[in-house]
């Protein structure tokens, strides 16, 4: 009985951690390239809204996913232009992006709120693997986006640490001037990774509105995008640690819902409000721990994170 | 890489203009807000609305008559207070994104004083002073937490202040649905009259033109705080230290400024003013604590502070503009237009400001 | 030496907003030649080389390599044409390995990195040119000299025929420099063209085949090194005759003002930077700290000024132990600090000249009183200091980021000296300044010494140390390797100490150990 409950919770954690996972890995790419993008929440919301709308309009959820990634990338392109080319403050631009995404998705998505019938991404029970006790239901009986998440983790890791462009990506955020002198196009590559991050944030939104909580309401991400930004720090800019964090937070976010059935909570319904705080409090605690660790190991953020790259500029 | 065979390519380059003419500094905000409204109009027409009609109705509602001005003042009050709050932190390049939560906690503490700590018979001046202090301290505490974490452990304040917003809102929800709830709805009972900030309409008998104007004394509080901050930035050592830290923390440390202490104080003050905004809102407008009593004042305050370039007097003007946007947004469907326009304005101004510093050159090579 | 040029740059012009950085510069270099490029800061050396490496696009002019014309649109194009540069500030990614840094940016590396193959290749090059290095080490673990080797390997790995070396000896001891010159000789023998940027005239004369001098963005001379003298080169650089001498009145040391006893501290990586260091500076004397960069100089200055925690020892500045006291205590005790990094530490770039001059004085009367400060008085005092220190700025309200390096340094000196300090810590006070500004700053320091101030001078420039110091303390791995009286100091002995070797008694008669030179009490 207790085990079943735990398995249930972990499975739900993997499921609802998936959008956070996409957003986190996207932000890792962007920050590894040296660009902080605080617009994740806004890009996710636009992604979720667009995906839902396009899926409803075309009847094809996959087109919704593509459109969401496109819109995420487009918004990120805006951020890239403002911060990489115009060199405006990355914090402010990212905040503006979140405001914009939140507002625009609410306005454009208003007619979609009533609609509850957009096609969803399919669930897929992996034969045999899903029958393994405990692990089966946790990992192998899910919506397809969850499996896409499983695939993305090793791919992102391999790309960053084991490939030529990954090596360049790591240099980009640490020491862009060095990359530049070696013929790496810093500006173009930063654009690329910021847009990639935006596309993944869009995917995160799509996975939310087409699979995890299949509907559209304004503000439905409820801070998931911000949690992703926090998780990047926790992850030490590593996709595997980021994935672990995302699933952990997925589980914590599910806790108030899944724990409702426990008799203990039926007697104290208001405790739910405190359970709702948990993911946010946890983000803070996790940040405190990882900041301490970073201070000790001196293995913190990419050195050039948040700093615009300027080559051809000199004082008179 | 034989260069001769390479096709002639042209590239667009952005070059920084060295000296910006002084008049541009004053004209640029106007140009940029105009540009932002244009972009907003474009996005609005995407939704099928007639942007001209939308803008007109919004302006009419916000600034059309004295009732409109009263409503706009009501919304400008928390924007000014919270905006001043975040601008203190921004001056030091501390990104306090948590004004919304600080505002909620301030309102919570003020409510506690009004409903549970003080008897309803307490004289109004004492009641209101106690509520203001409680609201300030509550917000200050909520800002102090990320301040300590930043100062002592170098924890990123953007994330912590943001997360504390959610925590504050759930904290409030617990009380308004639980122990302090009126019959299980998401609100508390109404405050006793002694806990209401005086409104203009309360003096309607003496000044007939005040009748029906629900704007309250909070605006004076906001204006006084703005004035004090203006003096602080221009005249005091404390303000000078904040500007050194804001420009170069290393230089401040080198010059003997105690960075950690200043971070904690500034974050607490920053949160305290947002808390005061929360107190003014529950005491002056809603007269109780209820769910979602703030339409995101704490977030809009961030935009307001930034657009005012952290200048306390300019902030009053910008806050009125955005309050008008909120008032106008209330009469327009669908909801969210106000937020959309806020995002567009911030984006266009941030990007556009940099753009004005460049000239575009097309280069052939 | 053939007469066909390996490199020809013709009529290169490069403008920046407000400046003409290169004005129709001609520059040629032959195969198998070491060609020195000389000039003051701002003379246009870096701009010219950045044009050659494709970082900047010239507004006018042409580049030929082996007679073929090239247009570089990016650094990648220049690399492909066989041009490689070792920058003064190393272009190495600190948390990547040597091998990763060497292959970074190469197009012909397979998509999937093969770590072992790359390491073997790097090993092979390092052996071919006698540049020993561990390909698997992370950059941050390497010494400065080793990092320079990585930079050279990086350039050679890309098959560069033309190597540009920007102030390569600045970070080396005299002995390391000799080894480095041997490497240059080897590369010259193998037919490489080497462009050697420097402002050390002795070095240029000893290694270069030809010399080109830039002044105000223009080529003022290209000459054969043989037969040139140091004063001739210097006057070409500056445009007027230069005296290599500073008038310094006799040293009359007074009471000890700064006492360090057994100070230890860690660097930013948590490794030992200062190891039980002891040193005394007396009133009216300049103590020069010589040493190869990274031997604890930065940490020494920061520890004294309260900007870095100690792990042991006592610092006495005329009162109690101030080790680990906050900076404000040290400032109030009369210690002025001219920091190594003018822009990042010494000033707030967007604040005005007046505000930067009052960065410490705002607390006390007459500028500060109670909670408030008198900004008008602050501006008036700034205007006076601008006159007194001959700072060229549009006015006291100009943001300091608009000032040149020399004027920025004068703002810092004006601030620190106007506080009438008892002790001055001056870290690399003339780094990056041109000859005129350098003379100026040095004279200011000597004047302060005559007024009885105790001065600790940290510098990488041995000429400066020898010219100004009354005593020279050599720093090696966080310890004082020896203290030598300024007048009798022997360059070779100091050089050996900088390299961590104990000089023999007859070559360095004046050496005392730090403990026997303890201050008279």
Using pLDDT thresholds of 50, 70 and 90, give the confidence band for residue C44.
confident
Provide the number of CB pairs (under 8 Å) joining chain B to chain C: 88
Residues C94, A178: contact at Cβ < 8 Å?
no
Question: Hey, which residues 6-25 in chain C have their CB within 8 Å of chain A?
Answer: 16-19, 21
Answer whether C5-238 and C245-334+421-521 agree in fold.
yes
B216 CB-contact burial (10 Å; exposed 0-12 / middle 13-18 / buried 19+): buried
Look up residue B236 and give its DSSP letter. B
For chain B, give the percent of residues with pLDDT over 70: 90
Each domain of chain A, given as residue ranges in start order, spans 2-297
CB contact under 8 A, A103 and B171: no
Chains that touch A (3 or more CB pairs under 8 A): B, C
Using pLDDT thresholds of 50, 70 and 90, give the confidence band for residue B309.
confident
* pLDDT over 60 at B365, yes or no: no
Q: What is the pTM of this model?
A: 0.85
Residues C445, C429: contact at Cβ < 8 Å?
yes
Facing residues of C36 across strands?
C196, C211
Question: Looking at residue C244, what is its pLDDT?
Answer: 58
Give the one of A163, A312, A313 whose C-beta lies nearest to C111's C-beta: A163
Each domain of chain C, given as residue ranges in start order, spans 5-238, 245-334+421-521, 349-420
Q: Which of B92, B137, B141 is nearest to B258 (CA)?
A: B92
Report residue C337 as tokens. 């600090």
Question: Looking at residue C469, what is its pLDDT?
Answer: 93
Beta-strand ranges (E) seen in C400-519 are 423-427, 454-458, 471-476, 479-485
Q: Which of C47, C89, C104 to mutate to test the interface with A (most CBs of A within 10 A)?
A: C104
Q: What is d(CA B34, CA C412) in angstroms, rounded to the nearest whole number?
A: 43
Does residue C63 sit at the A interface (CB-CB below 8 Å)? no
Q: Which of B16, B229, B240 to mutate to test the interface with C (most CBs of C within 10 A)?
A: B240
Residues C267, C275: contact at Cβ < 8 Å?
no
Q: Which of B9, B91, B229, B251 to mutate to test the interface with C (most CBs of C within 10 A)?
A: B251
Angle formed at CA A11 by CA A7 and CA A17, multiple of 5 degrees: 140
Q: Which of A210, A247, A12, A230 is nearest to A112 (CA)?
A: A210
For chain C, give the percent of residues with pLDDT over 70: 94
CB contact under 8 A, A316 and C96: no
Question: Hey, which residues 101-120 in chain C have their CB within 8 Å of chain A?
Answer: 101, 103-106, 109-113
Report residue C316 as tokens. 């006495």
- CATH T-level assignment (fold) for domain C245-334+421-521: Rossmann fold (3.40.50)
Question: Looking at residue C519, what is its pLDDT?
Answer: 40
* pLDDT over 60 at C508, yes or no: no
Give the one of A162, A164, A299 whose C-beta lies nearest to C109's C-beta: A164
Q: Which of A241, A240, A262, A247 is nearest to A212 (CA)?
A: A247
Query: For B323-338, what is the mean pLDDT?
Result: 84
Question: Looking at residue B362, what is its pLDDT?
Answer: 58
Hey, what CATH class is A2-297 in? mainly alpha
CB contact under 8 A, B153 and A277: no
* pLDDT over 50 at C349, yes or no: yes
CB contact under 8 A, C402 and A315: yes
CA distances from C121 to C68, C112, C113, C126, C464 (A): 30, 16, 13, 9, 42
Question: Hey, which residues 367-426 in chain C have their CB within 8 Å of chain B?
Answer: 368, 371-373, 375
CB contact under 8 A, A93 and B350: yes
Q: For B45, which residue in chain A has the nearest alpha carbon?
A: A108
- CATH T-level assignment (fold) for domain B79-356: ABC transporter involved in vitamin B12 uptake, BtuC (1.10.3470)
Residues A39, A72: contact at Cβ < 8 Å?
no
CA C191 to chain B, closest CA, distance in angstroms equals 22
Residues of B in contact with C362 (CB under 8 A): 237, 240
> Which one of A252-261, C40-49, C494-503 scores highest in mean pLDDT?
C40-49
Question: Looking at residue A269, what is its pLDDT?
Answer: 65
Parts of chain A with a pLDDT under 70 = 1, 257-270, 294-300, 312-316
* pLDDT over 80 at B358, yes or no: no
Does residue A273 sit at the B interface (CB-CB below 8 Å)? yes
DSSP class per residue in B125-167 = HHHHHHHHHHHHHHHHHHHHHHHHHHHHH---HHHHHHHHHHH
CB contact under 8 A, A91 and B95: yes
Using pLDDT thresholds of 50, 70 and 90, give the confidence band for residue C347.
very high
ipTM score of complex: 0.84
Cis peptide bond prior to B145, omega within 30° of 0: no
| pLDDT, chain C, mean | 86
Query: For B263-288, what is the mean pLDDT?
Result: 97
> What CATH number should be reported for the domain whose range is C5-238?
3.40.50.300
**What is Dmax (Cα atoms) for chain A?**
75
Chains that touch C (3 or more CB pairs under 8 A): A, B
Question: Looking at residue A49, what is its pLDDT?
Answer: 96
Residues of A in contact with B167 (CB under 8 A): 277, 280-281
| Contacts with A178 (C-beta within 8 Å, 6 or more apart), sequence order | A171, C91, C92, C93, C101, C104
Question: Looking at residue C131, what is its pLDDT?
Answer: 83
Q: For A81, which residue in chain B has the nearest alpha carbon?
A: B351
Report residue A73 as tokens. 């990338």
């Amino acid at each position: 009985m207790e085990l079943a409950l735990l398995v249930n919770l972990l499975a739900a954690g993997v499921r609802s951690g998936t959008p956070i996972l996409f957003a986190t890995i996207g932000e890792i790419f962007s920050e590894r390239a040296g660009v902080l993008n605080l617009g994740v929440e806004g890009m996710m919301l636009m992604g979720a809204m667009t995906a839902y709308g396009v899926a409803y309009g075309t009847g094809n959820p996959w087109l919704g996913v593509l459109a969401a990634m496109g819109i995420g990338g487009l918004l990120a392109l805006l951020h890239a232009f403002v911060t990489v080319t115009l060199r405006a403050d990355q914090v402010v631009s990212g905040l503006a992006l979140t405001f914009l995404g939140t507002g625009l998705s609410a306005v454009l998505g208003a007619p979609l709120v009533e609609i509850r019938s957009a096609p969803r991404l399919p669930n897929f029970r992996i034969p045999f693997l899903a029958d393994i006790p405990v692990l089966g239901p946790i990992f192998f009986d899910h919506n397809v986006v969850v499996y896409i998440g499983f695939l993305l983790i090793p791919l992102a890791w391999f790309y960053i640490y084991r490939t030529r462009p990954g090596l360049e990506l790591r240099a980009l955020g640490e020491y862009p001037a060095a990359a530049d002198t070696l013929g790496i196009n810093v500006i173009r590559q930063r654009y690329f990774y910021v847009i990639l991050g935006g596309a993944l944030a869009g995917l995160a939104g799509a996975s939310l509105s087409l699979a995890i909580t299949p509907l559209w309401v304004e503000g439905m991400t409820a801070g998931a995008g911000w949690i992703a930004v926090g998780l990047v720090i926790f992850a030490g800019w590593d996709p595997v640690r980021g994935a672990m964090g995302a699933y952990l937070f997925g589980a914590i976010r599910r806790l108030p819902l899944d724990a409702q059935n426990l008799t203990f909570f039926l007697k104290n319904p208001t405790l739910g409000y405190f359970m709702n705080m948990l993911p946010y409090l946890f983000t803070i605690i996790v940040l405190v721990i990882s900041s301490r660790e970073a201070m000790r190991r001196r293995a913190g953020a990419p050195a050039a994170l948040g700093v615009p790259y300027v080559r051809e500029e000199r004082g008179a | 890489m034989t260069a001769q065979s390479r096709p002639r390519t042209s590239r667009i380059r952005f070059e920084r203009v060295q000296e910006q003419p002084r008049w541009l500094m004053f004209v640029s905000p106007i140009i940029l807000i105009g540009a932002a409204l244009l972009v907003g109009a474009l996005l609005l027409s995407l939704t099928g609305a007639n942007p001209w009609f939308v803008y007109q109705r919004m302006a009419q509602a916000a600034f059309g008559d004295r009732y409109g001005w009263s409503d706009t003042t009501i919304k400008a009050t928390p924007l000014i207070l919270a905006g001043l709050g975040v601008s203190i932190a921004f001056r030091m390049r501390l990104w306090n994104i948590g004004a919304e939560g600080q505002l909620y906690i301030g309102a919570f503490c003020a409510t506690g004083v009004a409903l549970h700590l003080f008897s309803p018979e307490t004289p109004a001046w004492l009641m209101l002073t106690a509520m203001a202090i409680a609201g300030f301290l509550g917000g200050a505490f909520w800002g102090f937490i990320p301040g300590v974490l930043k100062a002592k452990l170098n924890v990123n304040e953007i994330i912590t202040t943001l997360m504390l917003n959610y925590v504050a809102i759930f904290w409030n929800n617990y009380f308004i649905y639980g122990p302090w709830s009126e019959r299980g709805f998401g609100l508390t009972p109404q405050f006793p009259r002694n806990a209401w900030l005086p409104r203009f309409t309360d003096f309607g008998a003496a000044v007939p033109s005040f009748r029906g104007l629900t704007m309250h004394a909070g605006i004076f509080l906001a204006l006084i705080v703005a004035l004090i901050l203006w003096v602080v930035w221009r005249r005091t050592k404390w303000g000078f230290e904040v500007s050194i830290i804001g420009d170069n923390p290393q230089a401040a440390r080198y010059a003997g400024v105690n960075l950690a202490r200043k971070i904690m104080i500034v974050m607490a003050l920053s949160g305290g003013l947002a808390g005061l905004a929360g107190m003014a809102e529950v005491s002056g407008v809603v007269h109780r604590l209820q769910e979602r009593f703030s339409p995101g004042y704490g977030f809009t305050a961030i935009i307001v502070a930034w657009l005012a370039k952290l200048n306390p007097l300019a902030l009053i003007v910008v806050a009125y503009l955005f309050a008008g946007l909120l008032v106008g947004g209330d009469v327009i469907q669908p909801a969210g237009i106000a937020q959309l326009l806020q995002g567009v304005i911030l984006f266009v101004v941030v990007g556009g400001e940099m753009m004005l510093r460049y000239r575009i050159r097309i280069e052939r090579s | 030496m053939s007469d066909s040029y390996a490199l020809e740059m013709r009529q290169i012009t490069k403008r920046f907003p407000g400046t003409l950085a290169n004005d129709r510069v001609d520059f040629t270099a032959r195969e198998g030649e070491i060609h020195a490029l000389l000039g003051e800061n701002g003379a246009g050396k870096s701009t010219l080389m950045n044009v050659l490496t494709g970082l900047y696009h010239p507004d006018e002019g042409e580049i030929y390599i082996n007679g073929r014309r090239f247009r570089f649109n990016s650094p990648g194009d220049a690399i492909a044409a066989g041009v490689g540069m070792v920058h003064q500030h190393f272009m190495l990614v600190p948390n990547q390995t040597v091998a990763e840094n060497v292959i970074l940016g190469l197009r012909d590396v397979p998509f999937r990195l093969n770590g072992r193959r790359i390491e073997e290749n790097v090993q092979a090059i390092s052996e071919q040119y006698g540049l020993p290095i561990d390909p698997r080490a992370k950059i941050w673990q390497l010494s400065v000299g080793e990092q320079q080797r990585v930079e050279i390997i990086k350039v050679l790995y890309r098959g560069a025929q033309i190597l540009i070396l920007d102030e390569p000896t600045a970070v080396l001891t005299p002995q390391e420099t000799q080894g480095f010159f041997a490497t240059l000789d080897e590369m010259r023998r193998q037919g490489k063209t080497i462009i050697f940027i420097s402002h050390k005239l002795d070095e240029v004369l000893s290694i270069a085949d030809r010399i080109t001098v830039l002044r105000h963005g223009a080529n003022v001379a290209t000459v054969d090194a043989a037969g040139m003298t140091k004063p001739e080169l210097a006057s070409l650089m500056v445009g007027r005759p230069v005296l290599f001498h500073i008038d310094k009145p006799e040293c009359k040391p007074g009471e000890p003002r700064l006492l360090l006893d057994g100070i230890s501290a860690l660097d930013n990586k948590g490794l030992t930077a200062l190891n039980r260091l002891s040193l005394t500076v007396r009133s009216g004397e300049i103590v020069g700290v010589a040493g190869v960069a990274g031997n604890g100089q930065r940490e020494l200055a920061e520890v004294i000024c309260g900007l870095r925690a100690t792990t042991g020892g006592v610092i006495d500045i005329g009162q109690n132990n101030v080790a680990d006291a906050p900076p404000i205590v040290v400032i109030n005790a009369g210690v002025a600090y001219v920091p190594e990094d003018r822009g990042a530490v010494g000033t707030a770039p967007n604040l005005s000249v007046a505000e930067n001059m009052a960065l410490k004085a705002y607390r006390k009367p007459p500028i500060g009183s109670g909670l408030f400060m008198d900004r008008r008085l602050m501006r008036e005092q700034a205007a006076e200091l601008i006159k007194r220190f001959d700072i060229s700025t549009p006015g006291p309200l100009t943001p300091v980021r608009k000032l040149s390096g020399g004027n920025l340094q004068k703002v810092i000196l004006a601030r620190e000296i106007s506080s009438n300090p008892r002790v001055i810590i001056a870290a690399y006070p003339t780094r990056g300044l041109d000859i005129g500004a350098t003379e100026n700053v040095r004279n200011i320091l000597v004047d302060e010494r005559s007024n009885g101030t105790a001065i600790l001078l940290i510098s990488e420039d041995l000429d400066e140390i020898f010219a100004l110091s009354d005593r020279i303390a050599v720093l090696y791995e966080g310890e004082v390797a020896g203290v030598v009286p300024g007048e009798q100091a022997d360059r070779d002995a100091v050089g050996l100490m900088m390299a961590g070797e104990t000089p023999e008694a007859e070559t360095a008669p004046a050496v005392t150990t730090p403990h026997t030179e303890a201050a008279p009490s």
